[in-house]
Amino acid sequence: MDIVYIRDLRIETIIGIYDWEREVKQEVSFDLDMAADIRRAAQTDDIQYALNYKSIAKRIISFIQASEFLLVERMAEEVANIVLVEFSVPWLRLRVSKPGALRGSQDVGIIIERGEKP
């Protein structure tokens, strides 16, 4: 299994359960590890056979900027579903963090894995 990844994709959005969080955009950060077979893309040097990380990032950015979630758990599930279904990714590991959400901590968040490892 090959992995195509995106690290520290930062997006501003409404996220959180507290009243003040519903009024102020906060930054969230995404790390994605996505299963892909890169052999055909490598052999042909043709983007049509690659997992296009730019297209995935643009889709996630658009979705998150237009969303207002209460919990990072729901946000993570929705993003995972987009990647798995819309981009035909068989497996992914997704890390979602809220930098500065907890005093004394650099960031907090969750890591999920969805799909079947090839």
Output the DSSP codes for 30-91.
EEEEEEE--HHHHHHT-GGGS--HHHHHHHHHHHHHT-EES-HHHHHHHHHHHHHHHT--SE
Tokens 């950060």 belong to 29
* CA 109 to chain CA centroid, nearest Å: 12
At 37, the pLDDT band (50, 70, 90 cuts) reads very high
How are strands ordered across the β-sheet holding 91-99? 68-69, 2-15, 26-36, 91-99, 107-115
Check 25, 54, 58, 98 and give the catalytic one: 98
- Stretch 73-100: mean pLDDT, rounded? 96
Look at the chain and report how many structural domains it folds into.
1
Active site residue 98: yes
Mean pLDDT, range 33-57, rounded to an integer: 97
* Residues spanned by the domain of 85: 2-115
pLDDT band at 117 (very low <50, low <70, confident <90, very high): confident
SS3 state at 92: strand
CATH number of the domain that residue 25 is part of: 3.30.1130.10
Q: Is 20 helix (H, G, I), strand (E, B) or coil?
A: helix
Structure confidence at residue 101 (pLDDT): 75
